[in-house]
Amino acid sequence: MEITAVAERDADLRRSAFKPSSPACKAVVDQLLKVIEKGDSDLLIPCLSAIDEREPEVERAAVIALTKFAGSENYLRVDHSKAILAAGGIKHLIQLVYFGEQQIVQIPALELLSYIALHVPDSEELARNEVLTVLDWASKQAHMVQDESRETLLLEAKSRLELYQTRGTR
């Protein structure tokens, strides 16, 4: 938790330490797994939550954390978006957009899905999972487009997907 708090304030640290292939990133995941395997630490619950949890508050925290990696402000946003795709995250995000609790999970999941579509619009995975259909559905839900910046992000992501998916069908 302390590492992520510092990383939020230090762009150089984020660029160097949180590359998917970086030793620091691998070390953090290894430490989480060691604590889980040991099973007798006060950090067990936070580590389990970081790895896999289905509670809406934890899902929200995970989606928000991933959005920091895939968001437009992140220098490595394309690499991180591709990593989320490669890890099979799109199917989970689609489920959260459709079925997640409205204000808790659904909207942050939509934002993350939109960023991924914006940064990797030529992804076959996005086309195969019909992300354009999901974004189109979301753009018609009043509670999802109440915020002007979210609506702009959603429209931009849809536009990029339409452009690339139309090229692919020609």
**Predicted local confidence at residue 49, as pLDDT:** 55
How confident is the model over 33-62, as a mean pLDDT? Answer: 65
Residue type at position 118: L
Task: Judge whether residue 15 has pLDDT over 70.
Answer: no
- Report if residue 153 sits inside a domain: yes
How many structural domains comprise the chain?
A: 1
For residue 140, the enclosing domain spans: 87-170
* Rg of the chain, C-alpha, whole Å: 17
Task: Judge whether residue 38 has pLDDT over 80.
Answer: no
Summarize pLDDT for 100-134 with one digit per residue, the tens.
876 789 999 999 999 999 999 999 999 999 999 99
Where residue 82 falls among pLDDT bands split at 50, 70, 90? very high
- Report if residue 19 sits inside a domain: no
Query: Do 108 and 58 contact (CB within 8 A), yes or no?
Result: no
Task: Judge whether residue 69 has pLDDT over 50.
Answer: yes
- Report if residue 160 sits inside a domain: yes
- Report if residue 70 sits inside a domain: no
Which residues have C-beta within 8 Å of that of residue 28, sequence separation ≥ 6? 3
- Report if residue 69 sits inside a domain: no
**Predicted local confidence at residue 170, as pLDDT:** 45
Identify the CA nearest to 120 among candidates 147, 160, 61, 66: 160
- Report if residue 166 sits inside a domain: yes
Give 150's DSSP letter: H
**Predicted local confidence at residue 50, as pLDDT:** 58
- Report if residue 25 sits inside a domain: no
- Report if residue 14 sits inside a domain: no
Torsion of CA 130, 134, 140, 146, to 10 degrees: -140
